[in-house]
Amino acid sequence: MAKYVPDITTNRWVIIAEGRTKRPTDTKLSGAQNINKICVFCPGLERIPGEELYRLGGGSPYERGWRVRVIKNKYPITDFHEVIIHSPQDKVDIPELELTQIELIIAAYRHRFIANSKMGHVMIFNNVGEAAGASIRHPHSQVVVVPRQITIDTLPLEPVVNVVRESRDFTVFCPDFSQWPFEVWIAPKTKGKYFGEIKDGEIEGLAFLLKETLNRLLFHLSGGAHLHPGMPMIPFKAGPAYNFYIHHGQNWYLRIIPRLVHRAGFELGTGIQVNIVDPADAAETLRQEIGG
Ligand SMILES: [Zn+2]
């Protein structure tokens, strides 16, 4: 059971979720620490990890045949915490998956957003790499519902500037108010919508841009010529580390945050984030084509 503790003067909250210390981890691959030899998100073990809530693809609940599967998180942050397993494939994630599979993942996001909306604020997010907080390697996203009476410290949709690219329905851009180096936002051109209102045609467009944008980040942030020499950043050489989340409120957006830096004392003490890369420069880098 999650415990919500307020700070009365600032209306901020912490969630005390002691049960999460018991959750398994398999991202530490160094010998003895790798306690999870089998992956419970892989096909064939559907009965182990938790109550099945939803699936896309075929097969009966708790059987094989699914293409995307949603289960209850056994180690929840809040009372409603779900895991969306991206595909039956253990090591293939969005940058490499086929577009039709990514469309299914986003369709599952929409389904769970709508299904959980009456319970509170629906946070959908994806953690990739240990530095981004991932503990199970098999690619998955999470859905956490925060009760409405809990204030969420979140950003509204920022003005569209520093455009990386655009499609019929979406713009990919690096906001002037970027708190992290190379953070990228994908926002629908139609304003005023909640994510749950996304249409099938828009899901196709978002799947394409999400995959494409992640691949731009992976390419440009892997330590190549575009990371300036001497920059105090951790490139993706040893593997990518990033988060993305979908804004829960009106005027939704999808925000991708590469985890290239650690937060330090000044930022922790002031709440002011220091971004060492100008978002205009980040956009210029990301506009450059992938290849060669
Ligand atoms: Zn697996």
For residue 2, pLDDT beyond 90: no
40 alpha carbon to ligand 1 midpoint, in Å? Answer: 6
90 alpha carbon to ligand 1 midpoint, in Å? Answer: 4
44 alpha carbon to ligand 1 midpoint, in Å? Answer: 10
110 alpha carbon to ligand 1 midpoint, in Å? Answer: 23
252 alpha carbon to ligand 1 midpoint, in Å? Answer: 30
DSSP string over 51-120: -EEEEEESS-TTSS-EEEEEEE-SS-SSSEEEEEE--S-SS--TTTS-HHHHHHHHHHHHHHHHHHGGGS
- What is the token pair recorded at 285? 């880098």
Q: Please give the pLDDT value at position 155.
A: 97
53 alpha carbon to ligand 1 midpoint, in Å? Answer: 18
Q: What is the arithmetic mean of pLDDT over 179-183?
A: 96
How much is the mean pLDDT over the chain? Answer: 91
134 alpha carbon to ligand 1 midpoint, in Å? Answer: 14
Percentage of the chain lying above the pLDDT 70 cut: 91
- How far is the C-alpha of 285 from the C-alpha of 80, rounded, in Å? 39
| pTM strictly above 0.85 | yes
For residue 223, pLDDT beyond 80: no
* pLDDT grade for 235, boundaries at 50, 70 and 90: confident
Q: Please give the pLDDT value at position 59.
A: 95
pLDDT tens track for 46-91:
999 889 999 999 999 999 999 999 999 988 898 899 999 999 999 9
* Selection from 133, 143, 28, 38 nearest residue 85 by Cα: 143
Q: If DSSP codes are grouped into helix, strand and coil, which group holds residue 17?
A: coil
In terms of Cβ atoms closer than 10 Å to its own Cβ (0-12, 13-18, 19+), residue 57 is: middle
pLDDT tens track for 120-170:
999 999 999 988 888 889 999 999 999 999 989 999 999 999 999 999 999
Q: Please give the pLDDT value at position 29.
A: 46
29 alpha carbon to ligand 1 midpoint, in Å? Answer: 14
Q: Which has more confidence, 100 or 291? A: 100
91 alpha carbon to ligand 1 midpoint, in Å? Answer: 7
Q: Please give the pLDDT value at position 30.
A: 43
Q: Which has more confidence, 22 or 112? A: 112
pLDDT tens track for 256-287:
999 999 999 999 999 999 999 999 999 999 99
38 alpha carbon to ligand 1 midpoint, in Å? Answer: 8
202 alpha carbon to ligand 1 midpoint, in Å? Answer: 29
Q: What is the arithmetic mean of pLDDT over 18-26?
A: 73
For residue 28, pLDDT beyond 70: no
Q: Which has more confidence, 8 or 209? A: 209
88 alpha carbon to ligand 1 midpoint, in Å? Answer: 7
292 alpha carbon to ligand 1 midpoint, in Å? Answer: 32
Q: Please give the pLDDT value at position 145.
A: 97
42 alpha carbon to ligand 1 midpoint, in Å? Answer: 4
- How far is the C-alpha of 209 from the C-alpha of 165, rounded, in Å? 9
41 alpha carbon to ligand 1 midpoint, in Å? Answer: 5
Work out the number of other CB atoms within 10 angstroms of the CB of residue 9.
6
86 alpha carbon to ligand 1 midpoint, in Å? Answer: 10
Q: Please give the pLDDT value at position 176.
A: 97
Count the alpha carbons within 13 Å of 219 in the hemisphere toward its beta carbon.
16
Mark the residues whose beta carbon lies below 5 A from ion ligand 1: 39, 41-42, 90, 138
Q: Please give the pLDDT value at position 31.
A: 43
Q: What is the arithmetic mean of pLDDT over 30-44?
A: 70
